[in-house]
Structure 1
Amino acid sequence: MGIIKDKASQGKAALLSKRTMLSLLRATSHDCSAPPTSKHLATLLSSGDGPRATASAAVEVLMDRLQGTNNAAVALKCLIAVHHIIRHGSFILQDQLSVYPSFGGRNYLNLSHFRHTTDPTTWQLSSWVRWFAQHIEQLLCASRILGFFLGNSTDKESREERASGLGNADLLAEFDSLVALIEGLCKRPEPNGNPLVEDIVRVAREDCEVVQVEVRVMVSEFKERFGGFKFGEAVELVCCLKRLEQCEEKILAMMDGARELKLWDMVRVVKGVAEIQVYREEAKLQRETRKLRVSESDRFSGRVLSSRDSLRFPSGRLL
C-alpha cells in the first residue's frame, strides 16, 4: 500500500509540475528499510533555493507532510530532511525553518505522542520519531541561543574569539543549551539494525562531534575566567559541568570510545576548580553573615533600656 501511495502521489505531482512536492515525495517514501538518498536530499534542497517566498513554500510543504503523516518511515525521512536543512541548507532555508511555526517554543515539531503501531517494526521506529524530533527541537533551540546553526563550518580561532567576547551570563546560557543537547543525545533509543535507524545514528554521531567541539571551546574559556565569576555564576557553572560529566559514559559509547581532544579530562579539572571557588565564596558569605548578625545583636542590646534608665511614676510602675 505504501508503494502504491508513493507512485500515485509522485505521478500526480509530476503531472501538475509541482517540483518541490515531487522532490519531497521521492525523499520521503513509505519504504522503512531505506533512508533518503543524498541525491534526493540535494534535489529537495535545490527546490527551495531562490527568494524567501520559494524557501518558505518548500519548508511549509515539508512540515505539512511531517505533521500530516501517521507513518513512522515517512515521519523519520521528513525529520532527516529537516536535519539536512539545518546542516547543509542555504541561509534563507535555515531562516525559514527556524521561525516555523511562528510561535516556536517547546514541542516545536509536536511529535512527542507519535505512534505507528501496525507491526513491531513501525512500533520501534515510532520511538525513533519521538526522539529524533526532540533532538531537532533542542538543536534548533541551541542554535537560536548561540546565534548560528551548529555544524556550520568555522575555524577554531573564530570560535575561541567569539567565546572570549561574551559576558559570563551569555556564555553560561549558551553552555547550558549545549549541555541540554548532549543530555538529549544520551536518551537515544537502542539501534535495531534498521538501515533508516542506522542513518539517524550516523547523523546523531556527527552532531555529537560538533557539539563536543563547541563545548570544549567554552570549557577552555571558563578555565581562563576563574576568579571573575560571581557566586551565583560559579554555582551555575558547577551544576552544568556536573550534568555534563554524567553524560560522559553514554557519549563515549555513542562515539565508540573516541575522545574529543581530552574534553572530559578538561571538564573534570574545571569542575574541581569551580567547586573550590564556590566553597570559598560560600565560606566568605557565611562569615559576612555571622558578622552582620553579631553587629545587629550589639545594636539591639544598646537600644534596650535598663532599670537605671527607667522613669518611676507615682503609681510605682517603671517606664
Structure 2
Amino acid sequence: MTKLTLFTDLIGIIKDKASQSKAALLSKPTTLSLLRATTHNSFTPPTHKHISTLLSSSDGSRATASSFLELLMDRLQNTNNAAVALKSLIVVHHIISHGSFILQDQLSVYPSTGGRNYLNLSNFRHNTNPTSWELSSWVRWFAQHIENILCSSRILGFFFLAKSLTDGEERVSGLTNGDLLKEFDSLVTLVEGICKRPNHASNESNKNKNKLVDEIVNLVSEDWVVIESVVIVEVSEIKERLGCFEFGEAVELVCCLKRLEECREKVVMILESQQRLWDLVSDVKDKVGMEVYKEKSKVQKEGRSLRFSESDRFSARVINSRDSLWFPSGRLL
C-alpha cells in the first residue's frame, strides 16, 4: 500500500466520521446506517450486520422504501470515491437477491426511464491513487452486471435471483417461442457481461488481497449458480421445440447460442461451471443450425427469396396462429 493510498484512506476515515456524526445529531437512522455500510475504506466490504440493519430500517411502507432508494442512488451516483460506489452497489445487489418485495418493487421502477446505463456509472473514474484506479474498473463492471440482472428480471417478469426456481421448467414450457427467445437473449447478454470481469488474482497472498473485491467476486459467483440453472432450463426447452421455430427465430437462436458458446472459455476460467451446460448448448446449436441450413437450401432450390427484417426479431414478435395451435414445448393442443 503506497503512502498516497494511506493518506487518501485517512481522509476518507475523517469524512466518514464527520458524516456519521452529523447524521446521528440530526436523528437520521437510515442515513446513518447507509453511511456505515458505505464507508471510504478501500479494502473491506460492508458487514452483513450493517447491510441487514440498513435494509430492515428501510423496509416498511412504499413511501419509506422509495425514500431509501432515492437516498441510496444519490449516494451511489454523487460519489467520486470507488470504494463508496462499490459498497453502494453491493447494497443494491443485496436488495435484488435478498430484499423484501416492496424494496425490489421500488428498485425495479427507479429511475422511471430504466434502459441502458441504468446506474449511470459506465464512465466512472477515480484516479486518486493506484488502488482507486483499479477499483474504478470494478465499479464499471459490477454496475453493468447489476444493470443486466435488472434488465433480465424485467423480461422474465420477476427477480429471478431471489426466487425459488423449483417450478422453472413448468414456467418456461408455458412461454411462446418469441418470449422464450427474448428471455434467452437477455440471459446470454448477462453471461457475456460476466465474462468481461476485470482481472482478479485469486492466488494473491492474504497480505495483498482486497476483501472488497473478493466480496464482489463471491456475489457474482453466487449469481452464476442461479443464472446457469435458468440457462440450462431454457436451452433444454429450446431443444424440445426443435422444428417449431420460424426461420427468423431459428436464425436468432443460432446467433444467441454461438454467443453463449463463445463465453465458454472465459466462464470456465473464472467460475465453476457444469459441463452439462456446454454440451447442451453445442448440441442444440448444431441441430438448429442444420435446420436453418436445410430451410435455406430448400428456399434457394424453389427460387424464392427468404428474408426477415428487424420487425421479425423476437424483441418485437407477436403471437401468431401457429403459437395458438401448439404447446410451447411442441405438443399439439
**Aligned equivalent of 2:172, options 148, 163, 173:** 163
Report matched runs for 1:114-125 at 5 Å: 114-125=124-135
Show structure 1 runs of 4+ deviating over 4 A. none
2:74: which partner in 1?
64
1:285-304 CA distance string (max 9 Å, x none): 1122269xxxxxxxxxxxxx
Structure with bigger gyration radius:
1
1:289: which partner in 2?
303
Paired with 1:108 and 1:233, the residues of 2 have a C-alpha distance of 28
Paired with 2:240 and 2:277, the residues of 1 have a C-alpha distance of 15
2:197: which partner in 1?
188
1:51: which partner in 2?
61
2:185: which partner in 1?
176
The TM-score with structure 2 as length reference comes to 0.84
Aligned residues: 289
Q: Is the 8 A contact 2:161 2:226 kept in 1?
A: yes
Paired with 2:20 and 2:77, the residues of 1 have a C-alpha distance of 19
Deviation at 1:195, TM superposition (A): 1.1
In the alignment, structure 1 residue 250 sits paired with structure 2 residue 259? no
**Aligned equivalent of 1:229, options 245, 250, 257:** 245
Aligned-pair identity (%): 66
1:240: which partner in 2?
256
Q: Is the 8 A contact 1:87 1:151 kept in 2?
A: yes
In the alignment, structure 1 residue 102 sits paired with structure 2 residue 112? yes
Query: What amino acid maps onto 1:167 in structure 2?
Result: T
2:7: which partner in 1?
none
Deviation at 1:150, TM superposition (A): 2.4
2:318: which partner in 1?
none
Q: Which runs of 5+ in 1 are unaligned?
A: 292-319
Higher RCO (CA 8 Å, separation ≥ 6 residues): 2
Paired with 1:143 and 1:50, the residues of 2 have a C-alpha distance of 23
Paired with 1:290 and 1:224, the residues of 2 have a C-alpha distance of 29
1:31: which partner in 2?
41
**Aligned equivalent of 2:228, options 205, 209, 212:** 212
Q: Is the 8 A contact 1:3 1:31 kept in 2?
A: yes
1:136: which partner in 2?
146
**Aligned equivalent of 2:163, options 150, 153, 167:** 153
**Aligned equivalent of 1:197, options 207, 213, 216:** 213
Query: What amino acid maps onto 2:298 in structure 1?
Result: K
Q: 1:87 to 1:226 in 2, by over 3 A?
A: same
1:301: which partner in 2?
none
**Aligned equivalent of 1:268, options 235, 257, 282:** 282
Paired with 1:112 and 1:45, the residues of 2 have a C-alpha distance of 26
Deviation at 1:261, TM superposition (A): 6.2
Paired with 1:206 and 1:260, the residues of 2 have a C-alpha distance of 14
Q: 1:261 to 1:147 in 2, by over 3 A?
A: farther
Q: 1:48 to 1:262 in 2, by over 3 A?
A: same
2:206: which partner in 1?
none
Q: Is the 8 A contact 1:47 1:58 kept in 2?
A: no
